[in-house]
């Protein structure tokens, strides 16, 4: 296992365009140029949209999964720097979130929480224990949600969210007041989104009218993924601030993905696709257009390559665009199968990469 260094790790480098082309399975020069144009256009819209290599100093151990636990725990005991110990705990948290925690890991995390003086290290150990969904630990956090200490309530809410602890939903809902948004209420909104609490949607929908807190609420609504939220999101997508429109487009994409591209209402699906096309063609924000394209494709929509590239600010000649269109047509899957193929490809890429700044849908 590579030892975590005390120095601050460098910013993650963008994936080389050649690597992106390989991941997408294209080798013809015209098709490679098309993929390069997409990558370049996204980088110009926002660095946050650029695929980047995982910058974690222990990325190899994270990839190894549960098998890395013994070495990580041994390294934590030997590591002297706080930054190095923090990197190890973060790696453990990533692994337990994706896989599971062994008894040794659970015991080690509990010991770190009870004996370590560093608040930063204690916080990371608590987060990892929550991500491991340790029931006694999460139940303790649920009970702390009624504490008189605002900071303790905020921390407990976040930990319940990390652990997706649905038993805490009633207490989290009680923290939210539509006329105020204290720090503990913000944490509760976030936690309800992480848990995917559909029972929170009526209250969250009412909070969309508050411009101050609506961005956090939009995040939570998207993560919950209820079709009943679609009509509530459309006015925000059309008339909100730039950040609100970005969040609304992301929320729609998440809802579309969670519901396999079907609202069980063909008329609503057609109406939303038509509205998304309008956003893709006319919204002044490239980031809004990007997420609208994703939401549109996840709802079974199909756009010509020229239209996609134009929406993202890229350019190809008519001859090159014709070649790309012909290539995509020859690949031949119907729209829904094509969307499934795109999703599978996106999953494969996500396993090898991490986007800096942009949260995965």
Q: How far apart are CA 355 and CA 361, in angstroms?
A: 11
pTM for the model: 0.81
Asked if residues 300 and 277 have their Cβ atoms less than 8 Å apart, the reply is: no
Domain positions in the chain are 55-132, 133-224, 225-309+317-343+357-361
Tokens standing for residue 105: 């890991």
Q: How far apart are CA 55 and CA 52, in angstroms?
A: 8
206-213, Cβ contacts within 8 angstroms, sequence gap of 24 or more: 206/178, 207/176, 207/178, 208/232, 208/236, 210/178, 210/181, 211/241, 211/244, 212/181, 213/181, 213/186, 213/189
Q: How far apart are CA 231 and CA 261, in angstroms?
A: 15
- Residue 125 CA, chain-centre distance (Å), reads 22
Burial classification of residue 282, based on how many CB atoms lie within 10 Å of its CB (0-12 exposed, 13-18 middle, 19 or more buried): exposed
Tokens standing for residue 146: 């009624």
Strand partners, 52: 14, 354
Per-residue pLDDT at 259: 98
Instruction: Give the 3-state secondary structure of residue 355.
Output: strand
Strand partners, 355: 51
Instruction: Give the 3-state secondary structure of residue 170.
Output: helix
Q: How far apart are CA 194 and CA 127, in angstroms?
A: 14
Per-residue pLDDT at 7: 41
Per-residue pLDDT at 161: 99
Per-residue pLDDT at 41: 82
Spell out, as residue ranges, where the chain has pLDDT lower than 50. Answer: 3-11, 331-335, 337-338, 341-342, 344-357
Which of 214, 301, 195 minimizes the C-alpha distance to 256? 301
Per-residue pLDDT at 101: 98
Per-residue pLDDT at 178: 59
Q: How far apart are CA 41 and CA 277, in angstroms?
A: 19
Strand partners, 354: 52
Mean pLDDT of the chain: 85
pLDDT tens digits for range 268-321: 999 999 999 999 999 999 999 999 999 999 999 998 888 888 898 876 566 655
Which of 179, 184, 108 minimizes the C-alpha distance to 141? 184
Give the dihedral sign, CA 256/254/248/20. Answer: negative
Q: Dihedral, CA atoms, 8, 157, 176, 226, nearest 10 degrees? A: 90
Tokens standing for residue 60: 């190899």
Q: Does CATH number 1.25.10.10 belong to domain 133-224?
A: yes
DSSP of 177-221: BTTB--HHHHHHHHHHHHHT-GGGHHHHHHGGG-TTTHHHHHHHH
N-terminal to C-terminal alpha carbon distance within the chain: 31
Per-residue pLDDT at 328: 52
State phi, psi for 355 to the nearest 5 degrees.
-95, 130
């Amino acid at each position: 296992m590579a030892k975590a260094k005390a120095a601050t790790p460098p910013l993650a480098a963008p994936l080389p365009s050649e690597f992106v082309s390989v991941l997408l399975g294209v080798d013809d020069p015209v098709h490679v140029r098309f993929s390069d144009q997409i990558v370049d256009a996204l980088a110009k819209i926002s660095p946050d949209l650029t695929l980047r290599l995982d910058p974690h100093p222990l990325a190899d151990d994270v990839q190894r999964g549960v098998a890395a636990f013994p070495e990580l725990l041994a390294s934590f005991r030997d590591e002297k720097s706080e930054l190095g110990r923090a990197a190890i705990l973060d790696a453990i948290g990533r692994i337990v979130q994706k896989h599971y925690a062994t008894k040794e890991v659970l015991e080690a995390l509990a010991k770190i929480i009870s004996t370590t003086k560093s608040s930063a290290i204690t916080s990371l150990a608590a987060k990892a224990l929550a991500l491991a969904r340790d029931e006694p630990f999460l139940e303790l956090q649920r009970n702390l949600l009624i504490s008189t200490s605002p900071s303790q309530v905020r921390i407990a809410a976040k930990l319940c969210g990390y652990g997706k602890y649905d038993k805490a939903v009633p207490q989290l809902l009680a923290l939210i007041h539509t006329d105020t948004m204290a720090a503990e209420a913000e944490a509760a909104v976030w936690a309800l989104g992480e848990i995917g609490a559909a029972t929170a949607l009526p209250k969250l929908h009412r909070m969309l009218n508050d411009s101050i807190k609506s961005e956090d609420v939009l995040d939570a609504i998207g993560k919950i993924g209820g079709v009943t939220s679609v009509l509530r999101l459309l006015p925000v997508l059309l008339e909100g601030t730039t950040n609100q429109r970005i969040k609304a487009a992301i929320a729609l994409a998440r809802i579309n993905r969670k519901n396999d591209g079907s609202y069980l209402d063909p008329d609503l699906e057609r109406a939303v696709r038509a509205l998304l096309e309008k956003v893709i063609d006319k919204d002044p924000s490239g980031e809004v257009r990007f997420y609208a394209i994703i939401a549109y494709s996840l709802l079974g929509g199909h756009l010509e390559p020229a239209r996609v590239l134009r929406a993202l600010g890229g350019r190809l000649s008519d001859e090159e665009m014709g070649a790309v269109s012909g290539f995509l047509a020859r690949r031949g899957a119907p729209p829904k199968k094509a969307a499934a193929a795109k999703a599978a490809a996106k999953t494969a890429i996500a396993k090898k990469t991490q986007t800096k700044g942009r949260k995965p849908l």
